[in-house]
Amino acid sequence: MTVAQITDLHITTARDPLNQLRNQQRLRQVLRSIHALRPRPVAIIASGDLADHGDPAEYAALKVILADCEIPIYFAVGNHDRREAFLDAFGGPGARQDENGLIQYAEHFGDLRMVVCDTLEEGHDRSGYTAERADWLARTLAEDTETPTIVVLHHPPIMSGVKWMDPDPDAPWIGALADAIRGHEQVRVVLCGHVHRAFHGLLGGHIVATSPATSIQVTLDLTPVDMEKPDGREILVAEPPGYVLVMVDGGHVTTHVCVAGDYEAAVAYTRPFGFH
């Protein structure tokens, strides 16, 4: 059984015609690739920055793109999103709220449980994850300690090395999140977005895996940067769109980082496998 993660769609409108066309085309390319997978994933989780400015028109445009999707879609929100506009466009089991109106919920897919967290602080790029949200996560994880679980949030709590994208490693929210997941052996991976690149690290004894974006990617430049003095460096690059595929097999959970697109076959299976 598989579940696909897409992230950082940044769907926009004619206010930004270049990114309107590019980001819509790249999202459609990713969705085609996911639909072509065998076995087909049982669900897609879109882990935030669904829209570019959080405008109702952007969510309406996203809804049109997703209308033909044959796989159930679940959502998390990111720093470019706005909850009210998002909830006006999307509802149902893939956009549930907790008691405080945050987009936080848990969902079972057979032998896999997904817990979606809300890191959005509206009007800010940084994570808005608080101790109260971490308490919700700890309580939710405690409700089922047996089923293999993936935790989904937008902002990664680990360092990528791309300095202008990284959080403060000593930020209190990172410690609160680490405490919430520490000791929960059913948590197999924490899935994130936001950085527009695939990278992996550890937090609270668990693997954190960040997916590439469906929109353009962040340039991999690990050199120091002065956040107050632009130096002309490339910061975004039109690398192919991508996504993550979570595989569950006999209680084992594996994540694959995938590149979307149509590529010619290199080798066919024409004789039995064997060692010689």
pLDDT in tens, 183-234: 999 999 999 999 999 999 999 999 999 999 999 999 999 999 999 999 999 9
CA 23 to CA 12: how far, in whole Å? 8
Q: What is the pLDDT of residue 142?
A: 98
133 within a domain of the structure (yes/no):
yes
Q: What is the pLDDT of residue 100?
A: 94
Model confidence at 274, pLDDT cuts 50, 70, 90, reads confident
270 within a domain of the structure (yes/no):
no
Query: Tokens 């595929």 — which residue?
Result: 245
| pLDDT over 70 percentage in the chain | 99
Residue type, position 109, single letter = F
Here the tokens at position 187 are 């948590």
130 within a domain of the structure (yes/no):
yes
- Exposed/middle/buried for residue 185 (C-beta within 10 Å: 0-12, 13-18, 19+): exposed
19 within a domain of the structure (yes/no):
yes
The DSSP secondary structure of the chain, one letter per residue, reads -EEEEE----B--TTSHHHHHHHHHHHHHHHHHHHT-SSPPSEEEEES--BSS--HHHHHHHHHHHTT--S-EEEE--TT--HHHHHHH--GGGG---TTS-S-EEEEETTEEEEE-----TT-SS----HHHHHHHHHHHHT-SSS-EEEE-SS-SS--S-TTTPPPTT-HHHHHHHHHHTT-TTEEEEEE-SSSS-EEEEETTEEEEEPPPSSPEEP---S---TTS------EE-PPPEEEEEEEETTEEEEEEEE-S----S----S-----
Of residues 99 and 275, the one with the higher pLDDT is 99
Q: Provide the number of structural domains found in the chain.
A: 1
What pLDDT, in 10s, does the model give residues 246-266? 999 988 999 999 999 999 999
What pLDDT, in 10s, does the model give residues 18-58? 999 999 999 999 999 999 999 999 999 999 999 999 999 99
Query: What is the average per-residue pLDDT within 88-105?
Result: 95
Q: What is the pLDDT of residue 251?
A: 86
Q: Are 196 and 166 in contact (CB under 8 A)?
A: no
Query: What is the average per-residue pLDDT within 79-97?
Result: 96
Examine the pLDDT at 101 and tell me if it is beyond 60.
yes
Q: What is the pLDDT of residue 275?
A: 62
Query: What is the average per-residue pLDDT within 152-159?
Result: 98
Beginning with the edge strand found earlier in the chain, give each strand of the sheet holding 252-259 in spatial order.
73-76, 43-47, 2-6, 242-249, 252-259
β-bridge mates for residue 189, sequence order: 150
What pLDDT, in 10s, does the model give residues 52-75? 999 999 999 999 999 999 999 999
86 within a domain of the structure (yes/no):
yes
Model confidence at 154, pLDDT cuts 50, 70, 90, reads very high
Examine the pLDDT at 276 and tell me if it is beyond 80.
no
275 within a domain of the structure (yes/no):
no
Q: Are 71 and 41 in contact (CB under 8 A)?
A: yes
CA 7 to CA 120: how far, in whole Å? 14
213 within a domain of the structure (yes/no):
yes
267 within a domain of the structure (yes/no):
no
CATH number at residue 222: 3.60.21.10
Q: What is the pLDDT of residue 10?
A: 98
Instruction: Look up the domain containing 226 and give its range.
Output: 2-259
Average pLDDT value for the chain: 96
